[in-house]
Structure 1
């Protein structure tokens, strides 16, 4: 694993986390 992979994985990981948080926020708003 070279430096470029490490950086892109980090960026991808942050993007995925942000997307998950958006979905989670929407889910909390929905009536249970």
Structure 2
């Protein structure tokens, strides 16, 4: 269970960082995709 929870947490964090980066960077589509 520990590995499962840890893996899930990492995925959530990575996804959150990816979303923030996409929103902050117009070149990645943050300006085009609303």
Give unpaired runs (5+ residues) of structure 2: none
Give me the CA root mean square deviation.
1.4
More helix by share: 1
TM-score by length of 1: 0.73
Q: Which runs of 5+ in 1 are unaligned?
A: none
**Aligned residues between the structures:** 27
If the length of structure 2 is used for normalisation, what is the TM-score?
0.69
Higher Rg:
1
